[in-house]
């Protein structure tokens, strides 16, 4: 079977959990003997894991996301048209890279399986955006759900996301749930000396990630623990704002900030910390995902602290492998972090619970399930 694998996320270097998930699936398709071609942002690299790659520039987030996505799809359409007539299955991560496929289907007999880890238009609906984006958001929401419904099958990452798609008229029979996973073979739970006094946020720093809440909790934590240090590892549009906020609140000298880093280098910072935080606000688009960082925190031996959201609550248990706090409450977040700083037994117990839970969420288990579903629903 000829399979085209595509995403809007950068696959070289890997940026974001969706890109990693997509690459894992491409490798699994090839392992099973299928003829695989990747069409995705790869920074000019023509081959990934032995798979031929046609690359293009990723959409930019710094300016208008809508205009950038449109330009990306024009470039992507040119690539798709080269191969659509010889392709049996398009396996696409998220709708930004799938926007043109419904228009091609009347002319080509391919199957289309969509792997959804985020419903992007819901972030626009929940965020502060410019006037044009506010006006266009209802249309973009309708378009995104239309693209999702046009797929032969849809794979999602939580039951909460499945329920949302059903409410938006995607038939339940077309939806399968496969949770994300961690590269447990590449992430070590070992800790460096002094890590017991460090708290980390690992991953992108955009509006939906709520890193400003982490910054607001820092003075409350520091007031009780003079030797605590904080790490914000990963770049994003909000990084300058959270750095400025740390300065305003007088905690910048306790903070380490990085920009975007290669995946392995970013993960290395988990060795320097004992506690990992997920401060996302409980908005609809955040509520329906798990985020890759929870799996990586668990694999990295971190005691995890998170705002309570439906998606994460599907896989985590408060007091066993995570401590939840009410969304948006900086004091409650600080209290949860301080509990872990002050109680070594609790901290080690939560971390051990995470290491146990992540055994159920490895790519060795997860990727074959995704590809099984794709192949089953990709036969012509």
The three-state (H, E, C) secondary structure of 245-308, written as one string: HHHHCCCHHHEEECCCCCHHHHHHHHHHCCEEEECCCCCHHHHCCCCHHHHHHHHCCCEEEEEC
The residue with tokens 């410019």 is 130
One domain, residues 343 and 368: no
Domain that includes residue 10, residue range: 2-180+362-376
Whether residue 237 is found in the same domain as residue 118 = no
Q: Tell me the backbone φ, ψ of residue 250, rounded to 5 degrees.
A: 75, 25
Return the CATH number at 153: 3.40.50.2000
If asked whether residues 332 and 213 sit together in one domain, one would say yes
Q: Which residue has the tokens 């392995």?
A: 264
11 and 62 co-located in one domain: yes
Indicate whether 188 belongs to any domain.
no
pLDDT tens, N- to C-terminus, the chain (380 residues) = 999 999 999 998 887 788 999 999 999 999 999 999 999 999 889 999 999 999 998 887 555 567 888 899 999 999 999 999 999 999 999 999 999 999 999 999 999 999 999 998 888 766 656 676 677 888 989 999 999 999 999 999 999 999 999 999 999 999 999 999 999 999 999 999 999 999 999 999 998 999 999 999 999 999 999 999 999 999 998 999 999 999 999 999 999 999 999 889 999 999 999 999 999 999 999 999 999 999 999 999 999 999 999 999 999 999 999 999 999 999 999 999 999 999 999 999 999 999 999 999 999 999 999 999 999 998 87
pTM of the model: 0.94
Do 6 and 85 belong to one domain? yes
For residue 191, which of 339, 338, 351 has the smallest C-alpha distance?
Answer: 351
**319 and 371 assigned to the same domain:** no
Q: Is residue 186 part of a domain?
A: no
Paired tokens of 307: 């705002």
Same domain, 166 and 244: no
Give the number of domains in the chain. Answer: 2
Tokens of 116: 């959804």
Residues 289 and 370 in one domain: no
Task: Say yes or no: 105 and 28 in one domain.
Answer: yes
Q: Is residue 126 part of a domain?
A: yes
Q: Quick check: is 280 in a domain? A: yes
């Amino acid at each position: 079977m000829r399979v085209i694998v595509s995403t809007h996320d950068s696959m070289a270097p890997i940026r974001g959990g969706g890109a990693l998930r997509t690459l894992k699936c491409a490798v699994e398709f090839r392992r099973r003997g299928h003829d695989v071609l990747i069409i995705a942002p790869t920074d000019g690299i023509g081959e990934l894991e032995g798979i031929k790659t046609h690359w293009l520039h990723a959409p930019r987030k710094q300016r208008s996301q809508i205009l950038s996505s449109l330009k990306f799809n024009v470039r992507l359409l040119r690539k798709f048209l080269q191969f659509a007539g010889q392709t049996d299955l398009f396996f696409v991560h998220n709708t930004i890279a799938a926007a043109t496929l419904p228009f091609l289907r009347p002319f080509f007999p391919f199957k289309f399986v969509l792997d959804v880890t985020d419903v992007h238009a819901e972030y626009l609906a929940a965020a502060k955006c410019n006037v044009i984006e506010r006006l266009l958001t209802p249309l973009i929401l309708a378009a995104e759900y239309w693209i999702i419904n046009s797929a032969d099958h849809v794979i999602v990452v939580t039951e909460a996301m499945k329920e949302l798609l059903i409410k938006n008229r995607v038939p339940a029979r077309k939806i399968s749930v496969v949770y994300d996973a961690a590269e447990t073979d590449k992430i070590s739970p070992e800790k460096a000396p002094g890590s017991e006094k460090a708290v980390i946020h690992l991953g992108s720093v955009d509006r939906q990630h709520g890193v400003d809440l982490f910054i607001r909790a820092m003075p409350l934590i520091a007031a009780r623990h003079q030797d605590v240090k904080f790490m914000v590892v990963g770049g994003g549009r909000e990084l300058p704002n959270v750095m400025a906020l740390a300065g305003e609140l007088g905690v910048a000298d306790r903070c380490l900030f990085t920009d975007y880093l290669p995946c392995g280098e970013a993960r290395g910072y988990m060795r320097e910390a004992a506690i990992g935080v997920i401060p996302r606000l409980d908005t609809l688009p955040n509520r329906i995902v798990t985020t890759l960082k929870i799996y990586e925190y668990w694999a990295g031996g971190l005691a995890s602290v998170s705002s309570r959201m439906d998606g994460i609550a599907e896989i985590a248990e408060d007091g066993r492998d995570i401590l939840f706090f009410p969304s948006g409450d900086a004091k409650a977040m600080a209290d949860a972090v301080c509990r872990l700083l002050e109680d070594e037994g609790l901290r080690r117990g939560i971390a051990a619970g995470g290491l146990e839970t992540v055994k159920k969420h490895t790519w060795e288990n997860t990727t074959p399930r995704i590809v099984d579903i794709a192949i089953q629903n990709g036969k012509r």
